[in-house]
Every structure is written in structure tokens, then in C-alpha cells.
Amino acid sequence: GRDGRGIFIGDPAEIGWITAEGDYVRVHTGDRPLLLRDSIGRWEQALGTTHRRIHRSTIVNVACVRELRPATNRDLIVVLNDGTTERASRTYAPRLRSALARS
């Protein structure tokens, strides 16, 4: 990804989750969130199998998922290790379940 100072390079394992915010993505790492001008689709492709898209605007690190809770409309509430909760839409929920079953 990119920020105003150039290209951000880091360890993908440190990325807990990513959220889309218009023309930007907010990358949540152990330190502080980084707001980068980029698309969530590019991050999804770049991160590969360690991270899964759970919503059109959210990607999570599979290793950081602590719990899945049922929600309405066959959606899931995804609880991350740090207590953060994100919603997995029914479109993406099956892919997350299969990724967790393999990890």
C-alpha cells in the first residue's frame, strides 16, 4: 500500500484488519492504524490466504479471529483477539469459515 510518504512495507502477520474508507484503506497493525490511499481489492490480492475479505469493506487476518457469532441474515460477527468486532456478510462468511477450518 501507499501513504503520503511513499510505499508502506511491513509484515502482513502484523496486520489485524483493514477497512475501506472511500478512496482510502485503514490498515490496523499492532502500533497504530495507517490511513493509505489505496483500494481494499488491491490489499485483498496482495495479502493472499493469510487474510480474508469478510465484507465488501473489511479484510481480517485469519490468525487474529478468536470467535464467530451468528448475526441476522446469515451474517456473522467476527471477534478478533483484541476484542474488535467486525461483521462478515453472508456473501463472504463461507470463505472465512473454510479458511478457519484449514488454519
Question: In order along the chain (103 residues), what is the average pLDDT of each group of 10 residues?
Answer: 50 93 93 90 92 97 96 95 96 94 81
Phi-psi label, residue 67: left if phi above 0, alpha if psi -120 to 50, beta otherwise: beta
pTM: 0.88
Contact call for residues 67 and 41 (beta carbons, < 8 A): no
* pLDDT in the model for residue 1: 46
Contact call for residues 17 and 84 (beta carbons, < 8 A): yes
* pLDDT in the model for residue 58: 98
What are the tens digits of pLDDT across the range 1-12? Answer: 444 444 455 788
The 3-state DSSP composition of the chain as helix, strand, coil percent (nearest 5) reads 30, 40, 30
* pLDDT in the model for residue 78: 98
* pLDDT in the model for residue 11: 84
Measured distance between the N- and C-terminal CA atoms of the chain, rounded to whole angstroms: 26
